[in-house]
Amino acid sequence: MPDLVARYREIFGPTGAVRVVRGPGRVNLIGEHTDYNGGFVMPMALEASVRLALYPHQEPVVRLWSEQFAERAEFSLAGEKPFEPADEPPHWLRYPMKVAEVLAEAGVRLYGFNAVVEGDVPVGSGLSSSAAYEVAAALAFLLASRPDFPAGPAEAVAQAHGLTTGRLAQLCQTAEHRVGVRCGIMDQFISLHGRKGHAIVLDCRDLSYKAVPLPTGKAKVVVIDSGVRRKLTSGAYNERRSQCEEGAGRLRKFNPDVKELRDVTLELFKAHEESLPQVVRRRCRHVVTEDERVMESAEALKSGDLERFGRLMNASHDSLRDDYEVSGPELDLLVTIARQVPGVLGSRLTGAGFGGCTVTLARPEAVEPLREAVMAKYPKQTNLQPRIWVSDAADGAGIDV
């Protein structure tokens, strides 16, 4: 952390006490494309995060230096066009701009600051680098107005501004919508609510959640970055969301209580699936069965049945590949390689798909054979270099310094 503070002083010059905020990325263990359908998900916060080293000042302007892009940009918090830069902004600037906008609309008084942005959550990997960035930016704005606020979890500084962390997650979600991705609430929520050593089961409708312990001594979570980058704003994500909304609307004719696909039971779906257009039917089948897999997975973890949990992970990937059609040859190859390694319990794509990462549950003794198998086979067949790491479940966002 001192290196980031030193980097701030290199970019912006010597100053007083520099503060550091952090928003972790996440990996979703199971429950994909259910969040924006009001359903259930099981993510965990990662040790990888996006961090901002900041120093507040008296001007109504935010000046940022991105370590990743080696680029400086700024935007105003006041004037005729607040939250807009003078020139066409780089894409990475749009996230804090929209966070500032929604915080102001929520009644948070904004103060300017300078900040250096860095992170080790791979962009476009399906590990929610954008949500981590939004959450870190939100904490930076909250801290800028209370620069002497002590280090600690996000909950305390949010409460000091009359916000819950659930509400802060919703505001960050709105910011991402305004950037152009109609994401669900999961990514921002887990970034704020992660708990060390646990995944959480989140009800995306009412934001109630419960922690589920991960038996790290008996199994490890291995994340493998395929090296294939995706861009959700290209339209495929939003198209699937619209297809789900169409399916819920059609099924509502048979049960007026259906507001979202979350409300569609497997029995209702099976009874009326023939009334749906073929593509919409497949999309709905994935979401309805995926919600059931999440709840069954929670029970499996509570009872310590890791083999059962692994089978559910496998079924989730197959459904994402065949019914939701968000996988790809590289992700499928990583899953196939993993499943062939003795001691691997389950493997699936994680995140929205169209590239990004897989998540694999493996016995501790299988981690190294898994790494060796991926490195021996995947580059030869794809000409891509994967990144592999094992991450424990981490705590959620907060003020580190």
Long-range contacts made by residues 245-253, C-beta under 8 angstroms, separation at least 24? 246/277, 246/280, 247/276, 247/280, 247/281, 247/283, 247/284, 248/37, 248/284, 250/275, 250/276, 250/280, 251/275, 251/276, 251/284
User: How far is 299 from 309, CA to CA, in rounded Å?
Assistant: 9
187 among known catalytic residues: yes
Residue 118, strand partner residues: 51
| Cα maximum dimension of the chain | 68
Closest CA to 115 of 142, 137, 87, 88: 137
Is 289 in contact with 33 (CB distance < 8 Å)?
no
Residue 387, strand partner residues: 225
Q: Which are the contacts of 30, defined by CB distance < 8 A and separation ≥ 6? A: 41, 42, 290, 293, 294, 297, 309, 312, 313, 316, 348
List the catalytic residue out of 187, 225, 263, 291.
187
Q: Virtual CA dihedral for 106, 112, 118, 124, nearest 10 degrees?
A: 40
- For residue 208, CA distances in Å to 33, 38, 159, 200, 314 come to 18, 12, 18, 10, 26
Residue 227, strand partner residues: none
Is 27 in contact with 391 (CB distance < 8 Å)?
yes
Active site residues: 187
